[in-house]
Structure 1
């Protein structure tokens, strides 16, 4: 049985891409790997297209595929109350962040235009020759997460999850096998109504002496699945990346802007 959907993958082979491709085939979803940073003429505006790829590749091919991509608002994390973040977070521009004179964790909200990490001060951030000064960034207090989890959410409900780090080191296990599963799900339920799209990935963690907190939100179509159930994760990806004309008016507010692609 086929569903009329096709999951397109980038040329970069990843464990999550392979897992989602296998899950797609089990579900009757077609799978195609794009070999170049463009879509063959015969596959442009493909009916039922979806996409799993990094942000740069998604920007390059999304318009040609006719795919809309849900992502969290750039300032979502900064708008959350402190009881959900465990730290102070501001959304500003990288130009403003370059004026920081204290250590801070700085990251692009939805892209990977520069490394997300602790910077000793703003002078260590990439300069204007590397990153345009108007680019939004999140500037966060520095906290240490004792344990961290990745959650794939659909309509506010956790469909699958995975532990991915303990004490800052990679330590992967299915959420179902983790002794803190109940605490994770209880905290995730508090995120309802905080302004997320219907299909999204949220990372949460336990901060020593501060309790549970949101780490960040990520686009499902660009997130690794760690030990999440691939079939459940695929459902979230197929909702998060689908034909652009199929989104409701409310969902369109969460769509990643589709840049114009200039071909030589």
Structure 2
């Protein structure tokens, strides 16, 4: 992987953006905030670039920056064995989810095109006036997580991790300070061979009276770090968002498709 020269950020200011920027500067890299949804000509395809941004902004600028973006397959969670999810998870289209007649947790797999939450039935989802019906969704049984953790994974190794919620309420602390640290790391080892890219974020949690389960996977280049070590999180981000030509065959299948961006 090439040496980081410039970390690009979106216009949206976040605590994680600030933390990663500070970590990048400590390495002698420049940090550039893109003020518009396009890349100035002189900064396009800059050597040694990376990006931290939300999915929509990343889609708008990644191609101009010459970057590839790793993410988990959209159906990854649904393909996991039930012993890793402790619930039924189905992958399909939002049109299929419109037919739901029961409460379910519904979310877009790899973006935030509509709120990820429990829906009483399919009627509460965005309708034909907002979507064309082919958009992918994950539909999950409802479970209660007693505590949840965020893991930044690089080549299958947990580089840094943080507790982020207890009983659904924000409760942030480094993994090292949590008494369940050994359990979290042991469960993370079970994710090997489940079809993840080399750099990714996975959320896991403890389900009441059932055990440990995967919550979801997230793109490292768009994930909040909570109480994770910023330098270690940056290592994962740099591996997940880098010049497209640097990705080997094993990771190329995990690259986020680059949409065609129409400019005025």
TM-score by length of 2: 0.98
Check whether the contact 1:113–1:131 (CA below 8 A) recurs between aligned residues: no
Structure 2 distance, partners of 1:234, 1:214, is 23
Task: Write the distance in 1 (CA, Å) between the matches of 2:128 and 2:60.
Answer: 23
In structure 2, the residue matched to 1:18 is 18
Whether the 8 Å contact between 2:4 and 2:50 is mirrored in structure 1 is no
Per-residue deviation, 1:217: 0.3
* Deviation (angstroms), 1:113: 0.5
> 1:1-264 alignment to 2 at 5 Å?
3-264=3-264
The unaligned stretches of length 5 or more in structure 1 are: none
1: CA distance, partners of 2:189 / 2:37: 39
2: CA distance between counterparts of 1:129 and 1:238?
Answer: 38
1:103-150 per-position Cα deviation (integer Å, ceiling 9, x unaligned): 000000001000000000011110022122111100000000000000
RMSD, aligned α-carbons: 1.0
Q: TM-score, normalised by structure 1?
A: 0.98
CA distance in 1, matches of 2:170, 2:20: 21
Residue pair 1:5, 1:29 contacting (<8 A) in 2 also: yes
Deviations 1:61-102 (A, max 9, x none): 011000100000000000000100010000000000000100
8 A Cα contact 2:50 2:238, kept in partner:
yes
Q: Does structure 2 conserve the Cα–Cα contact (< 8 Å) formed by 1:72 and 1:219?
A: yes
